[in-house]
Amino acid sequence: MKTCFTVLFALILAISVISPAVCEAAGAELSFSSFDGGGPEFSVILEDESLVSYTSARSYADEFPPPGASYRETFVFTGLKPGTCELTVRSSSPIAGEHEFLYTLSVDGELNVSITAQRRLTRFWYTHGGYNAPQSYEIYLLEDSYYLIRGRVPAQKLDDATVQKIEALISEYGLESWDGFDESNEYVLDGEDFSLNIRFGDGTQITASGNNAFPPDYFEAMGSIEEILNGDEKELPLPFGTYKYEGEGFGGDFTITLRADGTYSFYEGMLSSYIGGGHYSFEDGLLVFSEEAGFELLNRFLYTGDALLFCAEDSDNFIYVKLPDGSRFVRQPDEDYDAEAEALRPVPVLAIEVNGKRFYAEPEPNSSAEVLVEKLSEGGLTLLMSDYGGFEKVGDLPWELPRNDEKITTRPGDIILYQGRHITLYYAENTWTFTRIARIDGISSEALKSLLGEGDVEIKFWVEWSE
């Protein structure tokens, strides 16, 4: 099963701490290996930035390195005042995603800096099966909290004591010696296979797999770990309700509402003209949202009982607000947020005025209409529009809009984007490939053609908000 929080492969990243594990010099260094053109980029996160300053530098083996050359990136830390804090080095690669290395940084009274790697469990993934139904377990660390996904059961939070028991069993049974185990017994036609990956904050890992072949003490060790994980099962409340993003929405609150009938809706904020929605389901312990209103987005969330945590891997993300991995949506009290309140949120409507008569049209659920609403929210637009083909009035936009072209047979009242730069108001039918932006309902072809008149006509467009 894929994890929603990606980690780096051992072949891509090598980590080394310069000098002993605890550096007792005036300054301290951390050094990492990477390569140009896809290797991990490194950044430093200090819990207390007032304790030290730091610099970084890359060193290549060759004076004129070729494309794709490997290098060492070294961070040098200089003490500013005494104290202790957590130091995180985050690596990010387009090939292998993100991973974090955890350290404790200390500055003594003489401003000497020491850095000690934290051997803290950051990821545990174990699956086994065969003739019997496969079992899978995944633990990962997110924002200083541990979460467990067990099979298809929704994720649940683990307390530190449970994780410490697992760490103790890893040490007791010497699972470090399993690293690299990859064997198969070809003479057994059925039975059991397994895969195991354990990662720690100091960058070390244990990777093992087998098909009817197992490392020493396998059944005792993994049986003991499974007993702990299975014994911590808790029943989560049903996910129905409204969840609000803890970060910034698009001009207001970004909310997701889940309903008992398996449908959901999302609204990214007051500046968005789009309310998305579709169906949700649990798959491999994650909530999977399939958006069906227009953009066909697929997004995955970890459900913890009181929050939704965004899983960036294998998710399309949203339209205006691009969520970082692990973004948190918190369940709202029923008295403040519910589905009915969500439905009453103001939504944008496109206002059109022709020869003193005003119409309103609901924008289509596509990026063309979204951007047009954005532009018109900054100020209305008056266009001189001309007849074309005996079925439309057409005018030139002052900016280009994204295209969502499809073959359409128009009807009277359709507002169409053509070639990204022209907006048209149809008063008769026409079949062509272009983008519908909105539609005026309740007016006949004859009435609209009469209102538009012969020759050029000024048409005003702006945005209003409906309650």
Torsion angle defined by CA atoms of residues 439, 445, 450 and 454, in that order, rounded to the nearest 10 degrees:
80
CATH number of the structural domain 347-466: 2.40.100.20
**pLDDT at position 163 over 80:** yes
- pLDDT at residue 18, rounded to an integer: 37
Q: Considering the domain 15-117, what is its CATH architecture?
A: Sandwich (2.60)
Q: Could you tell me the pTM of the whole model?
A: 0.45
Burial zone of 407 (CB within 10 Å; 0-12 exposed, 13-18 middle, 19+ buried): exposed
How far apart, in Å, are the Cα atoms of 405 and each of 294, 370, 402? Answer: 13, 15, 9
The pLDDT tens digits for 432-461 are 889 999 988 878 888 898 999 988 999 999
The pLDDT tens digits for 420-435 are 999 999 999 888 889 9
Strands ordered across the beta sheet of 41-46:
41-46, 83-93, 97-107, 113-117
CATH number of the structural domain 241-343: 2.40.128
On average, the pLDDT of the chain sits at 82
| Average pLDDT rounded to a whole number, residues 329-353 | 69
The pLDDT tens digits for 223-261 are 899 888 887 555 566 788 899 999 999 988 999 999 877
Q: Residue 339 — very low, low, confident or very high, per pLDDT cuts 50/70/90?
A: very low
Choose the weakest-confidence range: 268-277, 325-334, 337-346, 418-427: 337-346
Q: Where are the domains of the chain?
A: 15-117, 121-231, 241-343, 347-466
Neighbours of 34 (CB within 10 A): 19
What type of residue is 60?
Y
**pLDDT at position 4 over 50:** no
